[in-house]
Amino acid sequence: MKGRFITLEGGEGTGKSTQIKLLAEWLNRCGVETVLTKEPGGTPIGRELRQMLCTGDKDKFDAVAEALLYYADRRIHMQQKVLPALADGQWVISDRFADSTMAYQYYGYNKRVPKQMLEQLYAMTVGEFYPDLTIILDLDPRIGLERSLQRNGAAEVKETRHESRGNEFHQNLRRGFLEIAQTSPRYVVVNADQSIEQLHHDIVKIVEERLLKP
Q: How would you write the pLDDT of the chain (214 residues) with one tens digit per residue?
A: 589 999 999 998 899 999 999 999 999 999 999 999 999 999 999 999 999 998 888 888 899 999 999 999 999 999 999 999 999 999 999 999 999 999 999 999 888 899 999 999 999 999 999 999 999 999 999 998 888 777 755 555 556 677 778 788 899 999 999 999 999 999 999 999 999 999 999 999 999 999 998 7
> From CA 193, how far away is CA 190, in angstroms rounded?
9
pLDDT at 58: 86
**Chain segment 83-132, per-residue pLDDT in tens:** 999 999 999 999 999 999 999 999 998 888 999 999 999 999 999 999 99
Helix (H, G, I), strand (E, B) or coil at 189: strand
Cross-strand bridge partners of residue 138: 191
Strands 34-38 and 187-191: unpaired
Contact yes or no for 80/74 (Cβ under 8 A): no
- Contact partners, residue 161, CB within 8 Å, separation at least 6: 53, 54, 55, 56, 57, 58
CB atoms inside a 10 Å sphere around CB 92: 23
Contact yes or no for 1/32 (Cβ under 8 A): yes
0.75 exceeded by pTM: yes
Please give the helix or strand (H or E) that residue 191 lies within, else none. Answer: strand 187-191
Quickly list H helices, the chain. 16-29, 44-54, 63-77, 83-87, 98-101, 115-125, 141-153, 167-180, 196-207
